[in-house]
A and B are shown apart, each in its own frame.
Chain A
């Protein structure tokens, strides 16, 4: 019996132990239940609510564009706007009519809204009116019950503090088109803009940044109840350009009212310090869509304000091309620095006579004299000896008629004709074509930017590429040092001979551009004039002797060109100036180039200590 009791004791002990084990197991279950349902409940609840949570993208601020000293060229500002969500109103037209009674809408705006409503799905907000004032907003908010589907929110809009000054360089943004939207869901957001021209277009992707996302709890009709989660996007990259806004302003002031363009390069590394085009336009107008009237005015303007003349304007280089011809001859050994050529005022080839600009002729000249006097016959002869194909190769090496690596999508390539090109067009290449090419006429077309680049390459002997991007996100980009650029591969002696000729043009007695002489002590400018005929001068006009281009209608007058670099003995800056229909380069373009060079040398932007990278870094901490 005692044994029975003891055994029974073991049973009960062990049964109790089992009970305890079960309690522990169920306790663990209870604890897990608490953890899952209460502690982590919020997280799981969020996951489970996909039907009721709507994820929306938030547009990141677009990256700013700065000049080389940190001046803002393109920034962002708050933009209060009214949006319309089509599916939240029974009748879109009634809503818009009610809205128009508070904030008048033009027919043009109504048309745009209708267009966008048709293009987007019914739940995508469409912008009704941007840049609302406080009064507009107050009116809209008070009358909200009459405006179903209208909501007011704040976005960002592009701001160009320097306005017209740099419109062609910085470019502008505009609402994305249907084609743009394919790759990026961010682009369907209201108020989003994509770069349409200039740096805004070239660097559009880094400038855009990455969209953030906000998770909203919405009720059955899509109204936002509360914000559940927010991930800020990555702002667009800040682009530091090579531009010096002050210098740009000075250059524009020099150009005055002329339809003209000028480019100032750092000759040693190709940084574009100023790129002025006149007339210009207000880039902010593209933000909300350009009106029909404005567009007509721009496109009908014969001075073409929308065209970036500096990078996309094509001109015959005229006599500024002569350095390229000379270098081609020297390189091909069809010309030596000592070769002398006699100019009687014309060159006869077969039964065609090619005139020199001086009908009395220049007598016997070497290269120095040929450049100094800009003798046409001298270069006719060099071109004849050298041949067009070799001239074209040299011109391309010097940056003429080739694609430059400039961050301007609208930049044009121009043309240096070759035998092959002409034959591809279905015509034979005549020797006469080579002759006129020798003085930069005929089929040759180049841009002012190419001319400045050409001048910088001749001045430094390096294949510098003009560029506008100095820093991205505060990081200095390659290309800012002279050593970043390879040598041109033309003998220094030959380059020197050409530079010497350019020096003579300006500084020696009898040179063609005495007006370009610098009024600064100890600093000399070397340059070359050019005038590009728009209309072929007929023989009878010339022979009747009353040919005076200044009396021609404006559109028929030749363009005036001038290229220059300075200082002569240590080239630092390269300048090109093109004044449309400005007649002779020597009279109009040369003094402008001189003044621009004086401004540049005085300001000396390259040696000003204020790199934008440092400014950006400091900008994060309050001063």
Chain B
């Protein structure tokens, strides 16, 4: 398929021969799958919420196309370019996230969105990949330049984001950001005692969230005692999986999308399970696993700390998000409003994930040693 010669030294030519084409293929497949799932789940949802189904679908088609383009464009950047983009993005997203507290649109009890003409934007989605890259840079710089207070700055940045996300509140996102930061510290060689302390802090934060936020508590209680509360969504999702069986009921034959309000977003995995069966779900799971594992394995050959930490953060963010979404649908963990990367409906989510994946591809491109800074 490549029409590009190895000798081609143009920007695109060099990109093609250095980018990790396996991950690229996996991402392209995911985007294609997202397209199919959107066609399957969205008409029913559009009909229910009273929107024009053509417009509803068209919007997501545009977003998916934009996401594909974004992945490629961002992956063209050099690691330095990625760093700059992330820094800019992080500042912008931070600002916008702060703005949600003042001008945010309240949806389902949380202020996470900023209304823009034609769409509502969730800036915290973009914060995730940018934060991962920025902290990686700060931590790596702290190692390289002993006097640079990188670790402190990274902790400060994390603290500010944590406060913002807690205020929205968006505990799911906070958990992801925390996990990303922790993963980076861990991979960056954090003292094991401190790792233990961090894990303890993580656990107590979980308990705190349970104690402080009613919606977190209700979701956990529903998870632990499915009989006592309203576990309608999870019940329906599990029914859908069971209904799909090994091979599924066939595209468009699903029922769960008619009865689940979030079928196109948080429970899209259940729609996939019902219509395409376990084999395709396993394939989907495999794609996510492949991207995550390949991303981490590529780091084994990498010697640049910034690249290692940034990639680890991005991969963790991506993998954790997928895990939380699928785990919620399968009643493995309490329901948490988190999208399935590339597959769930939603502009912010798809573009933010594309940004992160583009950065990952850019960072994992083959380079001559020492080319980085």
Q: Real complex partners, A and B?
A: yes
Q: Which of B241, B289, B300, B330 has a CB less than 8 Å from the CB of A12?
A: B300
Does B255 lie at the interface of the complex (its beta carbon under 8 Å from any beta carbon of A)?
yes
Q: Do B183 and A18 have beta carbons less than 8 Å apart?
A: yes
- Interface segment among A27-35, A75-83, A299-307: the answer is A27-35
Contacts of B299 in A (CB 8 A): 11-12, 15
Q: Which of A30, A41, A42 has a CB less than 8 Å from the CB of B285?
A: A30
**Complex CA–CA separation, A29 to B300 (angstroms):** 26
B221 to chain A, nearest CB (A): 21
A474 to chain B, nearest CB (A): 38
Q: Which of A8, A18, A48, A49 has a CB less than 8 Å from the CB of B186?
A: A18
**Complex CA–CA separation, A32 to B327 (angstroms):** 9
Classify the secondary structure of B's interface with A.
helix
Q: Which of A10, A19, A36, A37 has a CB less than 8 Å from the CB of B293?
A: A19
Does B187 lie at the interface of the complex (its beta carbon under 8 Å from any beta carbon of A)?
yes
Q: Do B241 and A15 have beta carbons less than 8 Å apart?
A: no
Does B326 lie at the interface of the complex (its beta carbon under 8 Å from any beta carbon of A)?
yes
Q: Do A11 and B242 have beta carbons less than 8 Å apart?
A: no
Against A, the Cβ 8 Å flags (1 = close, 0 = not) of B296-323 are 1101100101001000100110010001
Q: Do B289 and A38 have beta carbons less than 8 Å apart?
A: no
Most buried by B among A12, A22, A28: A22
Does A45 lie at the interface of the complex (its beta carbon under 8 Å from any beta carbon of B)?
yes
Q: Which of A4, A33, A40 has a CB less than 8 Å from the CB of B273?
A: A33
Q: Do B186 and A29 have beta carbons less than 8 Å apart?
A: no
**Complex CA–CA separation, A408 to B188 (angstroms):** 91
Contacts of B289 in A (CB 8 A): 22-23, 26
Against A, the Cβ 8 Å flags (1 = close, 0 = not) of B57-85 are 00000000000000000000000000000
Q: Do A23 and B293 have beta carbons less than 8 Å apart?
A: yes
Most buried by B among A8, A26, A33, A36: A36
Classify the secondary structure of A's interface with B.
helix
Contacts of A48 in B (CB 8 A): 239-240, 242-243, 255
Contacts of B316 in A (CB 8 A): 18, 22
Contacts of B242 in A (CB 8 A): 36-37, 40-45, 47-48
Contacts of A32 in B (CB 8 A): 327, 330-332
Does A14 lie at the interface of the complex (its beta carbon under 8 Å from any beta carbon of B)?
yes
Q: Which of B187, B273, B332 has a CB less than 8 Å from the CB of A18?
A: B187
Against A, the Cβ 8 Å flags (1 = close, 0 = not) of B84-112 are 00000000000000000000000000000
Does A333 lie at the interface of the complex (its beta carbon under 8 Å from any beta carbon of B)?
no
Q: Do A15 and B187 have beta carbons less than 8 Å apart?
A: yes
A550 to chain B, nearest CB (A): 82
Interface residue total, chain A, C-beta cutoff 8 A: 33
Does A122 lie at the interface of the complex (its beta carbon under 8 Å from any beta carbon of B)?
no
Q: Do A33 and B285 have beta carbons less than 8 Å apart?
A: yes
B107 to chain A, nearest CB (A): 28
- With A14-B189, A19-B297 in contact, is A38–B245 under 8 Å at CB? yes
In chain B between 172 and 225, which residues have their CB closer than 8 angstroms to a CB of chain A? 183, 186-189
Q: Do B332 and A28 have beta carbons less than 8 Å apart?
A: yes
B273 and chain A: residue at smallest CB distance: A37
Does A7 lie at the interface of the complex (its beta carbon under 8 Å from any beta carbon of B)?
yes
B326 and chain A: residue at smallest CB distance: A29
Does B9 lie at the interface of the complex (its beta carbon under 8 Å from any beta carbon of A)?
no
Does A290 lie at the interface of the complex (its beta carbon under 8 Å from any beta carbon of B)?
no
Does A228 lie at the interface of the complex (its beta carbon under 8 Å from any beta carbon of B)?
no
Q: Do B246 and A37 have beta carbons less than 8 Å apart?
A: yes
Q: Which of B240, B245, B292, B326 has a CB less than 8 Å from the CB of A19?
A: B292
**Complex CA–CA separation, A41 to B281 (angstroms):** 14
B332 and chain A: residue at smallest CB distance: A32
Does B345 lie at the interface of the complex (its beta carbon under 8 Å from any beta carbon of A)?
no
In chain A between 24 and 68, which residues have their CB closer than 8 angstroms to a CB of chain B? 25-26, 28-30, 32-34, 36-38, 40-45, 47-49
Contacts of A47 in B (CB 8 A): 239, 242
Contacts of B240 in A (CB 8 A): 44, 48
Q: Do B278 and A38 have beta carbons less than 8 Å apart?
A: yes
Q: Do A22 and B243 have beta carbons less than 8 Å apart?
A: no
Q: Do B296 and A19 have beta carbons less than 8 Å apart?
A: yes
Does B244 lie at the interface of the complex (its beta carbon under 8 Å from any beta carbon of A)?
yes
Does A16 lie at the interface of the complex (its beta carbon under 8 Å from any beta carbon of B)?
yes
Contacts of B326 in A (CB 8 A): 29, 33
- With A16-B300, A18-B312, A25-B323 in contact, is A36–B189 under 8 Å at CB? no
Does B277 lie at the interface of the complex (its beta carbon under 8 Å from any beta carbon of A)?
yes
Contacts of A38 in B (CB 8 A): 245-246, 278
Does B282 lie at the interface of the complex (its beta carbon under 8 Å from any beta carbon of A)?
yes
- With A8-B303, A30-B285, A44-B238 in contact, is A18–B296 under 8 Å at CB? yes
Contacts of A28 in B (CB 8 A): 332
Q: Do A15 and B273 have beta carbons less than 8 Å apart?
A: no
Most buried by B among A10, A29, A32, A45: A29
Contacts of B187 in A (CB 8 A): 11, 14-15, 18
Q: Do B278 and A37 have beta carbons less than 8 Å apart?
A: yes
A46 and chain B: residue at smallest CB distance: B242
A40 to chain B, nearest CB (A): 6
A415 to chain B, nearest CB (A): 61
22 A-B pairs with C-beta separation under 8 A: A8-B303, A11-B187, A11-B299, A12-B300, A14-B186, A14-B189, A15-B187, A15-B296, A15-B312, A16-B296, A19-B292, A19-B293, A25-B323, A30-B282, A32-B327, A36-B241, A37-B244, A37-B277, A42-B242, A47-B239, A48-B243, A48-B255
A-B residue pairs, 10 tightest by C-beta? A44-B242, A19-B296, A37-B278, A48-B239, A48-B243, A36-B241, A15-B299, A41-B242, A26-B289, A10-B189
Given A33-B281, A44-B243, 11 further pairs, Cβ under 8 A: A7-B189, A15-B308, A22-B289, A22-B319, A30-B285, A32-B327, A32-B331, A34-B278, A41-B243, A41-B246, A45-B245
Which residues of B come within 8 Å of A, CB atoms?
183, 186-189, 238-246, 255, 273, 277-278, 281-282, 285, 288-289, 292-293, 296-297, 299-300, 303, 305, 308, 312, 315-316, 319, 323, 326-327, 330-332
Which residues of A come within 8 Å of B, CB atoms?
4, 7-8, 10-12, 14-16, 18-19, 22-23, 25-26, 28-30, 32-34, 36-38, 40-45, 47-49
